[in-house]
Every structure is written in structure tokens, then in C-alpha cells.
Structure 1
Amino acid sequence: MMDFSAIVPALPGLGDGLLMTFQLMLLGVFGGVALGTVLALMRLSHSPLLSKIAGLYVNYFRSIPLLLVITWFYFAVPFLLRAITGEDTPVGAFTSCLVAFMMFEAAYFCEIVRAGIQAIPKGQMGAASALGMTYGQSMRLIILPQAFRKMTPLLLQQSIILFQDTSLVYTVGLMDFLNAARSRGDIIGQPHEFLIFAGLVYFSVSFIASQSVKLLQKRLAV
């Protein structure tokens, strides 16, 4: 019979792991949205070169698994930095995972942002231009604020997916929530109980967030 009583004393350590998970998710989302917005503007640019570079970036990262990106950054980037600087530059598990999440998620956020921008009537850009605004001013003050309002539910939904994907950092030994639960369960000799508890936490957070996104979607639709 399963005994979940050992989970209560382990909550402080599990809480640290959950905090690590949320840090990775939030920083990955902010960095991914920022880079994804730049990529979206490049894809919509009148410059064929910029558009092609952004398109290649998006297609490449959407064609490979996230696990490969995490391990590549963790193992390969130090070698690249050594070749460039000539010195050993430790990257660290947290930094390598964070950069991997930002670059990987940017490919998906790029398509969300691009769709949001294209959903804004083109006449608004023409009206802004007629008022004497530059392209940058039109995007920053008129187009992007409206586009982000439209695509907020999709951005949040992708953020939930990233929250779940943070569990992949176990491959580089980073002590996120799942890895903390698994390690503590192995030490105590109750791996099943701790993994079940971790699954319930992931489910609860994802379910509550998904329901909140649906409510937000209805409110924005009105």
C-alpha cells in the first residue's frame, strides 16, 4: 500500500524545485516572446534575406526535438566558446537550459506573433503612415499592442506547454520540480509516491492555467 506521509517533510525541497521550474518557464517565455517578435518582424519584412533567415530559423527549430536542443547547448556550446575565446567558459546547466528554451520557443512564438500581426487590418498601417509615423512607430504604438491583445491566449497556451517541457532538464542534472521529486523518492525508497505527487502538481497547474486561458479567451472575444 502506498504511503504519501513522507511527502510533507520533503515539501521545502520540492518547493525549491518548483521555483526552479517556474523560473525557467517565465524567463523562457519572456526571452522567447522577445526573440519571436523580432523573428516575426523579420519574416514579414520586405527584405527577402531577412525573411529567409527567419524562415530557416523557425523551420529548423520546429523540426528538431527540444531534448536535443537542451543537450546540444549543454555539451556543445562550451566547446564553441573555447574555440572562439581560447578559454574554458563554463556555461552551467541553468543557463544552457534557459537559452535552449528561449531559442526553441522563439520559433513557435514567432508564428503566433506573425499571425497576430497579420490579423490586424492593413488599413491601420496605411493610416499610421498617412499621419507621418515611421514603420517602427506604427508597429510599436498601433499594430503590436492590438496584435498582442489578440494573441494573448495563444501565448499563454504555449507557456503552459513550456511549463510541462521544463521537465526535460533532468537530462543535464538540473534540479527542477520533477527531478527533485524523483531524487527524493529514490532516496527515501518511495519513488512511486513522489512521482504520483509530481504528476498531480503538473496536472493541477496546467489544468488551472488552461481554464484561466479559456476564460480570458471568452473575455477578449467579447
Structure 2
Amino acid sequence: MFGDFDYKVILASLPYLFGTGMVFTVTLTALAASGGIVLGTIIAMMRLSGVAFLVPIARIYVDFMRSLPLVLVIFWFYFLVPYIGQWITGASRPISVGAFTSALITFTLFEAAFFSEIMRAGIQSIPRGQTSAAQALGLNYVQTMKSVILPQAFRNMLPLLLTQTIVLFQDTSLVYVISLTDFMGAASKVAQRDGRLVEMYIFAALVYLAICFSASFLVRRLQRRVAIIR
């Protein structure tokens, strides 16, 4: 199987693999992680707010998203949302939603459910006395979260947030269902085009292994530093 292993096909494809595929993967990961953390933090605050109608909404959202396969959510959003938009707006044809926009919104909404649980744990890790002290100073719930609780929660949960981002980086390969070209998709296209499946899939696996292993190593070092600070 490895007797005719062709390194040249890998070298010739590097500009396409990294210039197109990896750029897309990193861009989608960064944008979806940023949006997911922001939305997830809002959902976590809703669950901990004690407001009667916000708590069940946030809980149902988290449970619903975490119960579905990501690939199914991507598929549903891309193919069904245009028709839902047409029904809501009364348009004569389905609303156009680009593939990248669809993927970004889907990943953001899906990852927000996971980030919200991380942030909820981070918020709950802060001693209740700090909340009481902030309220004694006249701060309302939002001000207390913004100025006192969330900065500490982010610091405590940063390693877990980054770990979830690494998982998101791996999950971006699922965009193949809507014909987007991430790094894995680029490698697959080259493999099919040149008939070099072994070379391209081994190379793709090594790249993912190197990136995720390095990122995980840095996260572990960060986690030790955060533990020392605490």
C-alpha cells in the first residue's frame, strides 16, 4: 500500500490545502467560537437569573441542541431555514441563505449550548459572597455579572473554553454536507481528483493531529497556570 506513496501530490497541493481549506477552517472556528461564547454566556446568565420565564427557555434550548447530531443541525438549517423564512415573510420563493452564513450560524447556535454549560459552571464557581457584596454596593444583576462575576468566571473556565474550541475545530469538517471546502474537504477533493486517497488522508490526519495535540498541550499548561493563580 505504501510502496508507491507519492509525496509530490502533497507538496503540489499545499497552497490549496492551506490557502483555501485551512483558512476556511480557522475562520469558521474563530467566528463560531466567538459567537458561541457570547451567546453561551447570555444563555448561562438566563439559566442562573432566577427569572421564571427565562430559566426554562434557556434549559430547553441547551437540552435540545445537545441532543441533536451536529451534522443533522447543519443539514436542517441549510435546507429548511430558506423555506421557513419564505413562510414567515410571505415571499414568493425561499429566502437565500449562503452556505458559509448557514454554517456559521449553525455552529454558533450549536456550540453556544456547550459553551453555556461551561460558563454556568464558571459562574457558579465564584463564591456567593462576591455577589452579595456587589448587590450591597447597589449593583443590579447585569452589572454584577459584567463587573464582578464574569471576569473571574472567564479566567477559571478559559482552559475548558479553549478545549471546546479545539473540538469545534475538528467538527468543522462536517461542512461537507453543504458542499463547503474546509481543510478536510480540500484534502478529499485532491484525493478524489488525483486518485491519491492514502497520501491525502494520511497527511490530513497528521495535520489535525499536530494542530490539536499542540493546542491541547498549550491548554494544559494554561490550566496549570490558572490553577496557581487561583
TM-score range, shorter chain: over 0.9
SS at match of 2:12: coil
Instruction: Give the letter aligned to residue 67 of structure 1.
Output: V
**Aligned residue number for residue 138 of structure 1:** 144
Aligned counterpart, 1:128: 134
Corresponding position: 1:93 with 2:99: yes
State the match for 2:59 in structure 1: 55
Find the counterpart in structure 2 of residue 83 from structure 1: 87
Which residue of structure 1 lines up, in the alignment, with residue 181 of structure 2? Answer: 175
Identity %: 52
Shift of 1:132: 1.9
1:117-163 Cα deviation digits (max 9, x unpaired): 00000000111111122221111011000000000000000000000
SS in 2 for 1:48: coil
What do the CA deviations read for 1:89-142 (whole angstroms, capped 9, x no partner)?
211111111111011111100100000000000000111111122221111011
Q: Is the aligned partner of 1:12 residue 2:43?
A: no
Question: Structure 1 counterpart of 2:116, which letter?
Answer: C
Q: List per-residue Cα deviations over 1:9-58 (Å, max 9, x = no partner).
A: 11111011001001111111011111101100110011121000000000
SS in 1 for 2:53: helix
For 1:77, give the aligned amino acid.
Answer: V
The CA distance in 2 between the partners of 1:17 and 1:95, in whole Å, is: 17
Q: Distance in 1 between matches of 2:135 and 2:29?
A: 38
User: Offset of 1:6 from its aligned partner?
Assistant: 1.1
> In 2, distance between residues paired with 1:62 and 1:4?
41
Which amino acid is the alignment partner of residue 100 of structure 1? T
For residues 63-107 of structure 1, the C-alpha deviation after alignment (integer angstroms, 9 at most, x for no partner) is 110010000111001111111221432111111111110111111
- Is the aligned partner of 1:109 residue 2:115? yes
Tell me which residue corresponds to 1:166.
172
Helix, strand or coil: the match of 1:212?
A: helix
Aligned partners of 2:137 and 2:62: how far apart in 1?
A: 34
CA distance in 2, matches of 1:90, 1:190: 36
In the alignment, what sits opposite 1:30?
34
Q: Distance in 2 between matches of 1:137 and 1:186?
A: 55
Give the Cα separation in 2 of the matches to 1:186 and 1:147: 46
> Structure 1: how far apart are the matches of 2:105 and 2:6?
39
Say yes or no: does 1:210 pair with 2:216. yes
TM-score by length of 1: 0.98
Identify which range, 4-13 or 168-177, moves more after superposition.
4-13
**Counterpart code for 1:41:** M
User: TM-score by structure 2 length?
Assistant: 0.94
